[in-house]
Amino acid sequence: MELVEGLRTTGAVREFLPDAVPDRVVHRLLDTARFAPNGGNAQAWRVVVVRDPEVRATLRDLYLRGWHLYLAQVMAGLRPWAPITDRAAEERAVAEARAATERPDLGDFAEHLDEVPVLLVVLVDLRKLAAVDRDLDRYSFVGGASVYPFAWSVLLAARAEGLGGVLTTMHVHCEDEVKELLGVPEEFALAGVLALGHPVRQPTRLRREPVASFATLDTFDGSALEP
């Protein structure tokens, strides 16, 4: 596949055929993704390929717990867990979700996460990150630049193989339990879980805002960059 086509057609896939993905293909995806750009070439990522049915079922249950809270915040008109948000409204939405006796429809992806052909838990070694915003008086995110390009490269490599997938960070809500489940050392953090497989439908027409909606000249409120 031509590179630009891949960049413009690699969307999130959450519906998969039951067909297995051979280990040689998973290995090939990771072998390609390891060339992703990362700070100081520290290659701070670590991947756990989850096969055990019981472990997969636990990952599903942990996902559902966070997804329930996510949906409750969406229904309250909030962007779930946004760094800048109405914390009081968020707390009310989460409290009501936890007290609810009936769960909303959580969706096929959430309910059947354990059946996804490939589950890759992506971890990051906190000792290897150059998080230059670590001590700023705001939410820190710069360290992600050394691990998420790797995850995106896995998705691009999967697209080239005719596969599809999605990176979910929902499990980070239950990071301690995931780390205990997988025996992850203290110095590692959970970056997310990659779900991969043969897509029921391969998205090819993605919807995104135009460049003029986010790129300006010289200042934040400058004129929009036009072609």
Q: Looking at the domain assignment, is residue 16 inside a domain?
A: yes
Q: What is the pLDDT averaged over residues 129-157? A: 96
pLDDT of residue 105: 65
Q: Is the pLDDT of residue 98 over 70?
A: yes
**In which domain, by residue range, is 43 found?**
3-213
Q: What is the CATH number of the domain that holds 48?
A: 3.40.109.10
pLDDT of residue 170: 96
Q: What pTM value is reported for the model?
A: 0.93
pLDDT of residue 158: 97
Q: Residue 51 — very low, low, confident or very high, per pLDDT cuts 50/70/90? A: very high
Q: Looking at the domain assignment, is residue 224 inside a domain?
A: no
pLDDT of residue 96: 87
Q: Looking at the domain assignment, is residue 18 inside a domain?
A: yes
Q: Looking at the domain assignment, is residue 219 inside a domain?
A: no
pLDDT tens digits for 160-200?
999 999 999 999 999 999 999 999 999 999 999 999 999 99
Q: Residue 202 — very low, low, confident or very high, per pLDDT cuts 50/70/90? A: confident
Q: Looking at the domain assignment, is residue 222 inside a domain?
A: no
Q: What is the pLDDT averaged over residues 67-88? A: 94
pLDDT of residue 101: 54
Q: Is the pLDDT of residue 104 over 80?
A: no
Q: What is the pLDDT averaged over residues 13-19? A: 95
Q: Looking at the domain assignment, is residue 172 inside a domain?
A: yes
pLDDT of residue 103: 61
Q: Looking at the domain assignment, is residue 220 inside a domain?
A: no
Q: Looking at the domain assignment, is residue 15 inside a domain?
A: yes
Q: Is the pLDDT of residue 128 over 70?
A: yes
pLDDT of residue 84: 95
Q: For the chain, give the secondary structure using H, E and C.
A: CCHHHHHHHCCECCCECCCCCCHHHHHHHHHHHCCCCCHHHCCCEEEEECCCHHHHHHHHHHHHHHHHHHHHHHHCCCCCCCCCCCHHHHHHHHHHHHHCCCCCCCCHHHHCHHHCCEEEEEEEEHHHCCCCCCCCCCCCCHHHHHCHHHHHHHHHHHHHCCCEEEEECHHHHHHHHHHHHHCCCCCEEEEEEEEEECECCCCCCCCCCCHHHCCECCCCCCCECCC
pLDDT of residue 57: 97
Number of domains in the chain: 1
